Amino acid sequence: MEVQNPSRMEHPPLTLEQWLQILSAFVVFLNTWGLLLAFGAFQTYYEQVLLPTESNSRLAWISTMCAFILLFSGLVTGPLFDYGFLRPLLFIGSILEIFGLMMLSISTKYWQVFLSQGICVGLGGGLLFIPSIAAAALSLQDFRRAKFIGLISSATGVGGVIYPIVFRRLVSTVGFPWAIRSIAFIVLATFIFSWPILTYPVKKSPMIRGFVDVSAFRDLAFMSIVCGAVLSAVAYYLPIIYLPLFAETGIKGFHNTDLAFYLVSIANGTSIIGRLLSGLVATKIGPIETCGMAVAVSAVLLYGWFGLKSTAAVVVWAVLWGLISSVIVAMPGAIVPLLSPSPGVIGTRTGTLWAGVGIGMFIGSPIAGALIKESSSGIHWWRMQLFAALCMTLSSFFFIYPTIYVRRRARAAKRSMG
């Protein structure tokens, strides 16, 4: 008689349906966050070619609005997901994002770029993002959720590497319109694959009666995570937007080369490793602890931004920033289920958390743009760098109480069981 391995009985392998959920969510991350993180490449082109008369701060509003709508719409899409409207959200969101990219390809003025990329692409991504990550989180057991959420979020880095390179290569050969259309066709092809396989993994919950889970605002641990996420989001996106320009204008080795442009791809490339490793680390020590440590180390890196004076230093910093800061956006999908009283509110609470992140990104880039000062001696970055570092430092303190709360709850559960 064959004796079954107890560990295999306790942790059964993933089913085909679970793997398809993971793969479909990976595609959505690729085309939402991944495309958003490629904006550094777009902004450089806008500054130099398409919209050269617009200020850095004004151009930053395009990506800021896109990120804000993508994330803040979770306040609506999260509850709609809990109601079971996953497929309509996926279909409408995909159509809106592709339509926005097609309209961007024929845009020549600031308001046209703002409406197509900032509004339409952001809204399409917003209908896709929260439902996909909530569906994947619900389909996975607690013990493997953090690891596979890390795998799914690594698609952000993949998109952040692929899309800037595709754009850079094509814009110099076929021009801006067809470079954007090519990206739209890539998005369309990958979405067609994900539409039929991402499904709502549990029964619709009758628990949610409105679009807001009021109990979340009385949950101190959850609201601490939200506050920490808002502050970290203020700072997280700033290097992605401004590091290429910082290098090109302030570091001699980047003048008249493409290296500054590739800094975004370098950071996004190492973020793939960071997201994958974060899932493994979170499985051992917990997703809240993993995210809190990443925020603290990211703060240290932002203080280090002051001292970058050479080409090698900037490249190494970009590598480390992608590796560490990527954990900040990888872990919320694994944190929210830990702080949710039932599966029926996971979508709503996920939407609430990411809406807070959207607010952070919305206010961060314009403030940073206003803090960057130009003079006859060059561009002065230190005010923006200090602002980013202080926000990330303050964010790290908000992860202390949730860590203590979850560990105490785990110890209490063990005592009650045995």
Q: In this predicted model, what pLDDT tens digit does every residue of 291-316 receive, in sequence order?
A: 999 999 999 999 999 999 999 999 99
CATH T-level fold of 15-204: Growth Hormone; Chain: A; (1.20.1250)
Among residues 159, 154, 158, 95, the alpha carbon closest in space to that of 121 is found at 95
What's the pLDDT at 204? 56
CA torsion 132-170-162-229 (nearest 10°) is: -60
pLDDT digits (tens, 9 = 90+) for 340-355: 888 778 888 988 898 8
Residue 213: alpha-carbon gap to chain centroid = 23
Whether the per-residue pLDDT at 8 is higher than 50: the answer is no
What's the pLDDT at 141? 61
- Mean pLDDT, residues 262-278 taken together: 86
Fold agreement between 15-204 and 209-417: yes
Sole residue written with tokens 């403030």: 367
Whether the per-residue pLDDT at 188 is higher than 90: the answer is yes
pLDDT digits (tens, 9 = 90+) for 30-65: 999 888 877 767 877 888 899 988 887 788 788 888
> Could you state, in order of their start, the residue ranges of all structural domains in the chain?
15-204, 209-417
- The residue ranking higher by pLDDT, 154 or 260, is 154
What's the pLDDT at 412? 85
Whether the per-residue pLDDT at 257 is higher than 70: the answer is no
pLDDT band (50, 70, 90) for residue 404: very high
Average pLDDT, the chain: 85
Domain 209-417, CATH number (from 1.20.1250.20, 1.10.10.10, 2.40.37.10, 3.40.50.150): 1.20.1250.20
Q: Which two tokens stand for residue 361?
A: 């990104």
pTM for this predicted structure: 0.81
- Mean pLDDT, residues 381-387 taken together: 94
What's the pLDDT at 415? 81
What's the pLDDT at 39? 75
Whether the per-residue pLDDT at 123 is higher than 90: the answer is yes
